[in-house]
Amino acid sequence: MFEISELKAKKLPELQDIAKSLNVPKYRTQKKLDLVYQILDYQAANPNKVKEVLNDDTTASKPISNEKTDEKPVKSKIGSERKPAKKREENQVKPEQNNKPDNVTEAKKPAPVKSSEKKNEGAKAKEEVKKPTEKSHSPRRDDKNGNSNSNSNSNSSRDRDNNRNSRDNSRDNNREPRKDTRNQGNKDQNHNTNSGNNSNSPKNNGNRDNRNRYREPDYEFDAIIESEGVLDIMQDNYGFLRSSDYNYLSSPDDIYVSQSQIRLFGLKTGDTVLGQIRPPKEGEKYFPLIKITKINGLDPQVVRDRISFEHLTPLFPKEKFNLAERESTVSTRIIDLFSPIGKGQRGMIVSQPKTGKTMLLKDIANAIAANHPEVYQIILLIDERPEEVTDMQRNVKGEVVASTFDREAHEHVRVANIVLEKAKRMVECGHDVVILLDSITRLARAYNTVQPASGKVLSGGVDANALHKPKRFFGAARNIENGGSLSIIATALTDTGSKMDEVIFEEFKGTGNMELQLDRKIANRRIFPAIDLTSSSTRRDDLLLDENTLQRMWVMRKYLSDMNPVEAMEFINQRFKQTKNNEEFLLSMNG
């Protein structure tokens, strides 16, 4: 086995010959010290192969020495030509007895040639190391023989010269095929050793690469995964795509969006972005967005030139939501006639506790989803009970975003703000959006809690500036000229015993263009829906109902005005249950 001290003592050509015999890759381009460590690495990885090479060297050195002794006269002749002529005369020819062993060695020449075919170039390196020692000894032997045969005659010297010349010619002739056979043997052996070491060389290369430089990962996961979220822009102008699974709050699923992407595509808070992401690299916490595919369901080039929501023209609702067809109930049929809801409606359901307002919202949501699949529907539950949230998620076809009463007030505000911004961005892109809010009273309470104290407090503990943001939320509902609408149907609590709730309701009174009153007395009689028909109406319902229906509804309202709310609801509820749809009910009025 090689030692580091032995290898350092050798010269670079000798180390290259050893590396070549061991089949070490890229040995020619390396410095001496690097080559020493590479040979030691190869020896540590393949000790058996190094032993085989060393054994071949020892077995190959014996027959090669005989060949070298045969080549002595040639070398000595070259050296003797440089000596003076006197020494040639002194060095007499060996007797014929000494020539016979030379002939024997000449006869044995083919045998070492065969063994040399199996040698590798490591053996050659050993031969070259041994050559100078053998050369140095050969003249001494000649001198001894010359002294012992100094009394021989000149004829024997001539014979010796003739024999030497013939021997030199034969050696020269034999040398050429021997080189060829050696080259062929080396090629075969290199091929075998290469095939044997192929499995180990990648491992050695990998170790060397890991020692010298960082290896790049073999797999790229960029642009494999597509993800979607709602953009929430921070104060430093970068943003995150929030997940609806976490109600648009901070979560592990957040996707980082850079400032350059926000500026390039003109993104705003609330934009629904679909794009390709990649895994985070070293030092990164989030999955970054690398390519944007869709913004609010449209091409990014189209969205870039949109008009801001504040500059869109609001109109009265002109297209009515059909709540009396598929998946309709008595509640939705009554609402469809007495207080119709249009696209862009700003409606308020005013109710006392335990009057069934949550069930009414659920019926409205399912009717809109069944009859108007083009509408994007969001059910926003603020400060509600967790079991009601679960029931709404399972029974309503729409996106349910909730912040239950066990959450803090600032979370209620954050959820409401991002839902409103999402709806605005979708309206800017021409979509019809419906938000069903339960309840706006509790949302106003949350804003009042979060609002910094201004020093002006209204009755009931409401800050003077606290109701500005809830009004902006409710006032965002509008029908947009030339496409797009935002409808908000919100519930407001009354008669809760809280002065704050009364103040909040009074502030919102008159801001809506549709009002649906629920009566606790009707609910106590177990009549649902508990709607006060005479107090419920829609502004400019003539834009939503046709002339025939409008005339019949005027007659119906005159007839019901003489009854109290309980009697009126009992009468209408009975008639609606006897008919299949609203058209049949209107026709039955003639009788």
pLDDT at 201 over 90: no
Average pLDDT over residues 293-302: 93
472 or 20: which leads in pLDDT: 472
pLDDT for 287 equals 92
| pTM of the predicted model as reported, rounded to 2 decimal places | 0.64
* Structural tokens at position 337: 């006639």
| pLDDT range class, residue 290, cuts 50, 70, 90 | very high
**pLDDT single digits (tens) 411-429:** 999 999 999 999 999 999 9
| pLDDT range class, residue 3, cuts 50, 70, 90 | confident
pLDDT at 477 over 90: yes
Least confident of 109-123, 330-344, 353-367: 109-123
pLDDT for 113 equals 43
* Structural tokens at position 503: 């103040």
Q: What CATH number belongs to 225-304?
A: 2.40.50.140
pLDDT at 445 over 50: yes
pLDDT for 58 equals 64
- β-strand pairing of 346-351 with 514-517: parallel
Mean pLDDT of all residues belonging to the chain: 79
Average pLDDT over residues 182-192: 49
**542: part of which helix (H) or strand (E)?**
none
Least confident of 27-41, 277-291, 460-474: 27-41
pLDDT at 464 over 50: yes
464 or 478: which leads in pLDDT: 478
Distance CA 421, CA 386 (A): 24
Q: Other C-beta atoms within 10 Å of 502: how many?
A: 18
Which are the contacts of 9, defined by CB distance < 8 A and separation ≥ 6?
A: none
Percent of the chain whose pLDDT exceeds 70 = 72
The residue ranges of every structural domain in the chain are: 4-47, 225-304, 315-589
| pLDDT range class, residue 218, cuts 50, 70, 90 | low
Least confident of 59-68, 155-164, 350-359, 485-494: 59-68
Q: For tokens 């504040």, what's the residue?
A: 310
Distance CA 525, CA 529 (A): 11
pLDDT for 45 equals 79
Buried b (16+ CB within 10 A) or exposed e, 448-477: bebbeeeeeebeeebbeebbebbeebbebb
SS3 263: helix
465 or 370: which leads in pLDDT: 370
pLDDT at 72 over 80: no
Query: Domain 315-589 in CATH: superfamily?
Result: P-loop containing nucleotide triphosphate hydrolases (3.40.50.300)
Average pLDDT over residues 1-18: 80
Q: Other C-beta atoms within 10 Å of 178: how many?
A: 18
Burial of 121 from C-beta contacts in 10 A (0-12 / 13-18 / 19+): middle
Least confident of 23-37, 48-62, 269-283: 48-62
pLDDT for 208 equals 55
pLDDT for 138 equals 42
One-letter amino acid of 242: R
pLDDT for 41 equals 82
Q: Which residue intervals of 487-564 are DSSP H helices?
A: 499-508, 520-524, 547-560
Average pLDDT over residues 17-27: 79
pLDDT at 341 over 90: yes
| pLDDT range class, residue 161, cuts 50, 70, 90 | low
> What is the C-alpha R_g of the chain?
51
pLDDT for 176 equals 47
Contact between 363 and 396 (Cβ < 8 Å): no
pLDDT at 433 over 60: yes
pLDDT for 26 equals 72
